[in-house]
């Protein structure tokens, strides 16, 4: 009389192994381009450089994080600043969590990577004419500084 072995249940062996692999891969942080290298020139109303004015870069990946980042630099004597490239890290699980969170925001939700620059100080302000949305890897902008709209004289 021979006893037969019961068939081997592969899921009992490979199931926990597969689950461990999914957890490790899903939690592993991946590096991504968070904001580009961005050169900015700030000019006044007549096209002259505006030195010593503050220029701020604001960036956020709405699909991977819940907070924005700000970097403020001061323009040199040529009204120029250079923001270096910024990288951040997020796991696949973070991406899924924030993607679902953004989707629940409906039509007003933001997705993906975004960045913008603006200048301010000394009674002047100005905004770049473009926002960054994930590419290219390098940007250049000219910002025309002017007195804030609420301080500009009204013309009859």
Output the pLDDT for position 22.
85
Q: Any bridge partners for residue 142, and if so which?
A: 41
Report if residue 145 sits inside a domain: yes
Of residues 147 and 112, which shows the higher confidence score?
A: 112
Report the SS3 class of residue 79.
coil
In a domain, 126, yes or no: yes
* pLDDT at residue 153 tops 80: no
Contacts of 132 by beta carbon, 8 Å cutoff, 6+ apart: 35, 36, 38, 59, 113, 114, 115, 116, 139
Condensed to tens digits (0 to 9), the pLDDT of residues 19-76 reads 888 888 888 899 999 999 999 999 988 889 999 999 999 999 988 898 999 999 999 9
pLDDT at 24: 86
Q: Residue 109 above 80 pLDDT?
A: no
- CATH classification at residue 45: 2.60.40.1120
**Does a structural domain hold residue 14?**
no
- pLDDT band at residue 134 under the 50/70/90 scheme: very high
Please report which confidence band the pLDDT of residue 148 belongs to, taking 50, 70 and 90 as the band edges. low
For residue 19, what pLDDT is reported? 85
Is residue 7 domain-resident? no
What is the token pair recorded at 43? 């000019």
pTM, two decimal places: 0.78
Q: Which domain holds residue 127?
A: 29-151
24 within domain boundaries = no
- Please report which confidence band the pLDDT of residue 115 belongs to, taking 50, 70 and 90 as the band edges: very high
Does some domain include residue 94?
A: yes
Confidence of residue 103 (pLDDT cuts 50, 70, 90): confident
CA gap 125, 128 in Å, rounded: 11
Is there a domain that residue 72 lies in? Answer: yes
The count of domains in the chain is 1
Instruction: Specify if 13 maps to a domain.
Output: no
In the DSSP assignment, the letter for residue 66 is S
Whole-number pLDDT of residue 16: 85
Q: Which two tokens stand for residue 34?
A: 């968070």
């Amino acid at each position: 009389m021979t006893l037969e072995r019961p068939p081997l249940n592969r899921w009992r062996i490979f199931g926990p192994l597969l689950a461990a692999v999914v957890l490790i891969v899903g939690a592993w942080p991946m590096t991504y381009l968070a904001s580009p290298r961005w050169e900015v020139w700030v000019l006044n109303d007549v096209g002259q450089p505006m030195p010593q004015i503050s220029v701020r870069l604001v960036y956020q990946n709405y699909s991977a994080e819940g907070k924005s980042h700000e970097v403020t630099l001061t323009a040199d004597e040529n009204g120029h600043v250079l923001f270096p490239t910024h990288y951040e890290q997020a796991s696949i699980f973070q991406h899924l969590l924030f993607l679902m969170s953004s989707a629940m925001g409906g039509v007003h939700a933001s997705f993906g990577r975004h960045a913008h620059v603006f200048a301010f100080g000394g009674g002047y302000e100005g905004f770049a004419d473009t926002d960054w949305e994930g590419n290219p890897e390098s940007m250049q902008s000219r910002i025309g500084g002017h007195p804030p709209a609420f301080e500009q004289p009204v013309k009859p």
